[in-house]
């Protein structure tokens, strides 16, 4: 009897092979924006012809950058886009690609393959017609939107993001310490009353002495 052995090879979904891991909309300057993507494969991946796109707060869509020829993202490594509106910023970020585009509040960004399919996306704030449900509030100046990790592995749900550094907690209102105010008021009142009594005594003694003289 002949047995046929079938071997099934499982390959992870390419949708999660390359993921967005970090976004900054504003740094030291308003135009200091960047996007980091990460290759979860244990092999290099050719991403020539792939692109980053964005949707603005009004829902209008535009290209951030199409990846040029011979663009490759190394295995378990990052590929970085940075805005070149500030010319020195891409060099500072050691960016792989750059463009004059920028990011702002209530935006949505997507990583798209050659076939026009959205591989991964991230939204923040309250954008209209976003690529995906917003994951976090709008980051402030100097804050980044980061993908969460578990056991040093990036989580692969689009809502697993957080803002770093976290926003500072609001200052607590100054509480009126009634008891303390009352304690501070008592010695003051005692001093006023004592001064008043002493004044009466002095006047009385002065009149007594004057009467005795007469």
Q: Do residues 189 and 139 both lie within one domain?
A: no
Q: Do residues 48 and 135 both lie within one domain?
A: yes
Is 63 within the bounds of a domain? Answer: yes
* pTM to 2 decimal places: 0.73
pLDDT at site 6: 39
Mean pLDDT of the chain: 84
- The stretch 119-129 carries a mean pLDDT of 95
Is 57 within the bounds of a domain? Answer: yes
- The stretch 144-165 carries a mean pLDDT of 90
Q: Do residues 128 and 99 both lie within one domain?
A: yes
d(CA 8, CA 208): 120
pLDDT at site 167: 79
On whether the CB atoms of residues 154 and 19 are closer than 8 A, the answer is yes
Q: State pLDDT tens for residues 60-69.
A: 999 999 999 9
Q: What is the CATH number of the domain that holds 126?
A: 2.60.40.1260
Structural domains in the chain (count)? 2
Q: Which domain holds residue 96?
A: 14-164
Residue 124 CA to its chain's centroid (Å): 10
Q: Do residues 43 and 106 both lie within one domain?
A: yes
């Amino acid at each position: 009897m002949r047995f046929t052995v079938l071997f099934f090879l499982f390959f992870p979904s390419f949708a999660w092979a390359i993921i967005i891991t970090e976004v900054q909309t504003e740094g030291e300057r308003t135009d200091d924006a960047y996007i980091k993507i990460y290759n979860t494969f244990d092999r290099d991946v050719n991403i020539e012809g792939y692109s980053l796109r964005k949707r603005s707060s009004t829902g209008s869509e535009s290209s951030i950058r199409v990846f040029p020829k011979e663009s490759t993202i190394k295995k378990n490594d990052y590929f970085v886009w940075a805005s070149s509106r500030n010319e020195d910023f891409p060099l500072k970020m050691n960016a792989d690609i750059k463009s004059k585009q920028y990011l702002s509040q209530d935006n949505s960004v997507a990583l798209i393959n050659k076939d026009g399919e959205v591989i991964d996306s991230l939204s923040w704030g309250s954008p209209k017609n976003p690529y995906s449900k917003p994951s976090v509030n709008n980051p402030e100046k100097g804050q980044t939107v980061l993908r969460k990790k578990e056991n040093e592995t990036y989580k692969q749900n689009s809502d697993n993001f957080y803002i770093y550094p976290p926003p500072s907690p609001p200052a607590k209102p100054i509480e009126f310490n009634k008891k303390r105010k009352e304690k501070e008021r008592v010695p003051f009142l005692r001093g006023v009353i004592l001064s008043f009594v002493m004044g009466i005594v002095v006047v009385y003694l002065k009149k007594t002495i004057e009467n005795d003289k007469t």
